[in-house]
Amino acid sequence: MKVNVTVPKVNEYHDVTFSQVKEHDTIREMRMSLLVPDTDVAKPAVIYFPGGGFTSANYHKYIQMRTAIAQRGIVVAAAEYRAVPDAFPAILNDGKNALGYLRRNSKKYGIDSTRIAVMGDSAGGYLSQFVGTTAEKSEYMPDTGEVADTTVSAVVSLYGISDLLTIGKGIDTDFHASPTSTEALLVNGVSYGEDTAHAITDVEKSAKFASPINHVKKGLAPFLLMHGDADTIVSPYQAEEMEARLKENDVSVDRVTIEGANHATVEWYQPEVIKLVADWLVEKLF
């Protein structure tokens, strides 16, 4: 049997600590797992931030997507982040710290530190968009004790959130108007009394500041925005509105609609969707 070598061997670095954060009386270790193609050249990388409704960040998910991208010669680092009850900007601090860790340890993992992208789904898409739109700002890295390069080469957002004020546009405005919606908890933190609980629309200034769409500016890295037209959790308008804002600022953006796909449903795990994402990253990173 003759074998044609078409993909590299891929090694995993499991549960690597990329930063430590203080939580009450304890120190929490923030972790990532890396898939590293076993090649002799310096490789581009992508950080994957998992979805979880702002309440969890299981960085072991989406293994099909991560493996497929690694087999194309890209290091894939799947990173966790702090979720509710931790309030914004903890999530963004962690995203920036994951990026800083990869840059500081680029030689260890064979990474070309000038070619690092970010991607995520749902809340992870929100984080990838935010890392992309605040690429030049180091103030979101207070725990590192140093100024780090937080620029990225590309941004991928799968059914991600760009505007916290319009997540339910056209689908479910009642839930998203509640003080118990996860976006309200993300911005406000957890409340222990009715008088201090606020819906996201009651804190419009804070919600706008905590929305990636309001940080778009000229000179950003290219974006890939993908959304299902049957999404009942995060409005498909999110991708449309983010695309428009990026174009207004002359930022390269591709938007793809997956017909019949709801939020994180099986359509997102199909080979043609995974290939589209991998192809796009290869185009932008090589």
At residue 146, the pLDDT reads 55
Residue 247 has pLDDT above 70, yes or no: yes
- What are the backbone dihedrals phi and psi of residue 249, each rounded to the nearest 5 degrees, phi first? -105, 15
Alpha-carbon span 10 to 4, nearest angstrom: 17
Find the mean pLDDT for residues 202-222.
96
Find the mean pLDDT for residues 27-34.
97
End-to-end CA distance of the chain: 32
Cβ atoms within 10 Å of 27's Cβ, excluding its own = 9
The per-residue pLDDT for range 50-89, each reduced to its tens digit, is 999 999 999 999 999 999 999 999 999 999 999 999 999 9
Alpha-carbon span 31 to 33, nearest angstrom: 7
* CATH code 3.40.50.1820 for 10-163+219-285: yes
Cβ atoms within 10 Å of 285's Cβ, excluding its own = 20
The residue extents of the domains of the chain are 10-163+219-285
Higher pLDDT pick, 264 / 142: 264
The per-residue pLDDT for range 163-197, each reduced to its tens digit, is 999 999 999 777 788 888 999 999 998 876 555 67
| Neighbouring residues of 267: CB distance < 8 A, sequence distance ≥ 6 | 228, 258, 260, 261, 273
The per-residue pLDDT for range 265-279, each reduced to its tens digit, is 999 999 999 999 999
Rg (CA), the chain: 18
Higher pLDDT pick, 173 / 29: 29
How much of the chain exceeds pLDDT 70, in percent?
A: 93
At residue 23, the pLDDT reads 84
At residue 236, the pLDDT reads 97
The per-residue pLDDT for range 122-154, each reduced to its tens digit, is 999 999 999 999 987 766 665 555 556 889 999
Cβ atoms within 10 Å of 252's Cβ, excluding its own = 13
Task: Map tokens 């941004």 to a residue.
Answer: 155
| Neighbouring residues of 186: CB distance < 8 A, sequence distance ≥ 6 | 54, 84, 87, 88, 91, 164, 210
Provide the pLDDT confidence category of residue 254 given band limits of 50, 70 and 90.
Answer: very high
